């Protein structure tokens, strides 16, 4: 019989053990390191069983928040509750081993001299050796590595090591799983699959999960909710669709996609720009705005006649073949810098073609100029 790996997938193996997911409440959490403010008044509630990504650039405070949840750091301000019980405040501090949290780090932190089974048994020292071995094997089976118990970490691929780390984190049946950039060590091709399979395991065990990532695609793909951090504060907190389609500001929008930009001004209730008029209801008359169009928000049309093109007139400057999509660099009438369009579906335009360009409303975002 083929094992899960030979079958090409693992995760969701119907071997669920009981995990009781916990809710987490961060109340006005602050953290300073000397003069450095790493977190500044973070308020966040995470429901039992929710998968939440902490997303932000390097230094935004993601890891610090995760470490506070784990009990590796003690916040300098505010309190943390796990299932409405204080785990950390000025008087109380529950150590990591009493919090029922599973941790998984970027480098997997496997012990090279221990077998795969011993690595997974490592966090199970409350159990008898026999029970620990049994639980470790259940966890390894869940990640499709039941045939690797006697092997050592160096004998496994990066993807398999990631799974060992996952098995070790889930073996004690934690109420909360905390993952710090868990997929960043994997190559691109493997990463998507491992993410999906990891998510299947997380869903199956039902634990609450916090994933730290700086990769917006990873956050969109994996989370029920995304918490966007900047300079130690929460900038936006919502579902993946919400963050993608309704970014709170220009910076948040740029985080999720590459944007073409043009300045405009509100006149007659619309944003007037050198490349056309855009409908919006949010701004005051004469307010300066920045109109942003995602690269895949451009629609290109072939010239119909020398006198007429549908949309705003432009010309193809360059076509770059990227496999499933084409990336075009386009000169648009009225502006002296190029726009970029990412187009799939085989409609080909050539260098020098005169085209008309229109902009999909759903991929066009308008922000105040100073926003
Ligand atoms: N132990 C520490 N001592 C001093 N400064 C720290 C310490 N830990 C974090 N910081 C600082 O706090 C800020 C937030 O760091 P943190 O690691 O939480 O950010 P991050 O968003 O996880 O970044 P990265 O993606 O690079 O890991 C950074 O400016 C960092 O330099």
**Cβ–Cβ under 8 Å, residues 329 and 268:** no
Return the pLDDT at 3: 42
Q: Express the helix, strand and coil content of the chain in percent, nearest 5 each.
A: 25, 35, 40
Ligand 1 site, residue 38, Cβ cutoff 6 A: yes
With a 6 A CB cut-off, is 59 part of the ligand 1 pocket? yes
Mutate to test the pocket of ligand 1, among 39, 59, 106 (most ligand atoms within 8 A of CB): 59
The domains found in the chain, sorted by start residue, are 24-250 (3.40.50.300), 258-368 (2.40.50.140)
pLDDT at residue 303, rounded to an integer: 76
Does residue 327 contact residue 341 with C-beta atoms inside 8 Å? yes
State the distance from the centre of ligand 1 to the C-alpha of 210, rounded, in angstroms. 17
Residue 1 token pair: 């019989």
> Burial level of 6, CB count in 10 A (0-12/13-18/19+)?
exposed
End-to-end CA distance of the chain: 59
Interface predicted TM-score of the whole assembly (ipTM), two decimals: 0.94
Please tell me the residue having the least CA distance from ligand 1 atom 4.
33
Whether residue 86 contacts residue 54, with contact meaning beta carbons closer than 8 Å, is answered with no
Q: Which of 227, 186, 177 is nearest to 56 (CA)?
A: 227
CA 58 – ligand 1 centroid, Å: 8
For residue 281, with 0-12 CB atoms within 10 Å meaning exposed, 13-18 middle and 19 or more buried, which class applies?
A: exposed
For position 10, what pLDDT does the model report?
54
Full-model pTM = 0.87
Q: Is the CB of 11 under 6 A from ligand 1?
A: no
Residue nearest to atom 31 of ligand 1 (CA): 59
Question: Tokens 């085209």, residue?
Answer: 355
Partners of 344 in beta bridges: 325
- The backbone torsions φ and ψ at residue 71, rounded to the nearest 5 degrees and listed phi first, read 90, 15
Q: Rounded to the nearest 5°, which phi and psi values hold at 67?
A: -65, -30
pLDDT at residue number 30: 97
Testing ligand 1's pocket by substitution, the residue of 33, 53, 107, 181 carrying the most ligand atoms inside 8 A of its CB is: 33
Q: Which of 31, 38, 54 has most ligand 1 atoms within 8 Å of CB, for mutation? A: 38
**pLDDT recorded at residue 9:** 55
- Give average pLDDT by consecutive 10-residue segment, the chain, 371 residues: 44 52 96 96 97 96 96 95 94 91 83 93 86 92 90 90 90 92 82 86 91 94 96 97 94 93 95 95 93 95 74 94 90 97 84 94 91 54
Looking at residue 281, its pLDDT comes to 85
Residue 9 burial (CB count, 10 A): 13
The HSE-up count of residue 164 (CA atoms within 13 Å, CB side) is 30
230 lines ligand 1 (CB under 6 A): no
- Among 37, 62, 67, name the best residue to mutate to test ligand 1's pocket (greatest count of ligand atoms within 8 A of Cβ): 62
Relative to the CA of 214, which ligand 1 atom is closest?
Answer: 25
The predicted structure's pLDDT at residue 1: 39
Instruction: Name the residue with the closest Cα to ligand 1, atom 3.
Output: 33
How far is residue 202 CA from its own chain's centroid? 15
Alpha helices by DSSP H, listed for the chain, are: 62-70, 116-121, 129-142, 158-170, 188-205, 216-222, 240-245, 250-256
What number of residues does the chain have?
A: 371
The four Cα atoms 220, 290, 258, 224 give a dihedral, to 10 degrees, of 0
Q: Which pLDDT score, from 0 to 100, does residue 212 have?
A: 96
What is the rounded (10 degree) CA torsion for 192, 195, 200, 202? Answer: -170
CB distance 60 to ligand 1 below 6 Å: yes
CA 257 – CA 137 distance, rounded (Å):
42
Across-strand partners of 358? 299
In angstroms, what CA-CA distances link 190 with 37, 168, 183, 186?
Answer: 36, 20, 9, 6
Q: What is the DSSP string of 230-257?
A: ETTEEEEEE-HHHHHHS-SSHHHHHHHS
Q: Is the CB of 364 under 6 A from ligand 1?
A: no
């Amino acid at each position: 019989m083929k094992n899960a790996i030979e079958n090409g997938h693992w995760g969701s193996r119907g071997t669920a053990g009981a995990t009781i997911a916990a809710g987490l409440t961060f109340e006005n959490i602050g953290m300073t390191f000397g003069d450095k403010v790493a977190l500044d008044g973070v308020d966040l509630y995470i429901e039992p069983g929710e998968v939440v990504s902490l997303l932000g650039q390097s230094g935004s405070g993601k890891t610090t928040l995760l470490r506070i949840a784990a009990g590796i750091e003690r916040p300098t301000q505010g309190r943390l509750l796990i299932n409405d019980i204080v785990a950390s405040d000025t008087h109380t501090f529950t150590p990591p081993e009493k919090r029922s949290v599973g941790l998984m780090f970027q480098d997997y932190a496997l012990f090279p001299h221990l077998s795969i089974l011993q690595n997974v048994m490592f966090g199970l020292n409350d159990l008898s050796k026999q029970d620990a071995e049994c639980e470790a094997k259940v966890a390894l089976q869940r990640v499709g590595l039941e045939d690797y118990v006697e092997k050592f970490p160096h004998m496994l691929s990066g993807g398999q090591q990631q799974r060992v780390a996952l098995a070790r984190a889930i073996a004690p049946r934690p109420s909360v799983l905390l993952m710090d950039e868990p997929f960043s060590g994997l190559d691109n091709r493997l990463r998507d699959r491992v993410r999906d399979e990891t998510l299947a395991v997380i869903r199956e065990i039902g634990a609450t999960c916090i994933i730290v990532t700086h990769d917006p695609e990873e956050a969109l793909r994996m989370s029920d909710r995304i918490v966007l951090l900047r300079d130690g504060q929460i900038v936006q907190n919502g579902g993946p669709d919400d963050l993608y389609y309704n970014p709170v500001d220009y910076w948040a929008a740029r985080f999720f996609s590459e944007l073409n930009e043009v300045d405009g001004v509100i006149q007659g209730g619309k944003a007037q720009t050198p490349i056309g008029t855009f409908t919006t209801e949010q701004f005051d008359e004469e307010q300066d705005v920045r109109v942003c169009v995602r690269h895949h928000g451009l629609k290109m049309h072939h010239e119909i006649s020398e006198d007429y093109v549908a949309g705003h007139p432009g010309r193809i400057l360059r076509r770059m073949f990227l496999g499933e999509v084409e990336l075009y660099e386009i000169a648009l009438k009225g502006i002296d810098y190029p726009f970029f369009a990412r187009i799939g579906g085989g409609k080909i335009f050539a260098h020098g073609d005169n085209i008309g360009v229109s902009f999909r409303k759903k991929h066009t975002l308008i922000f105040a100029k100073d926003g």
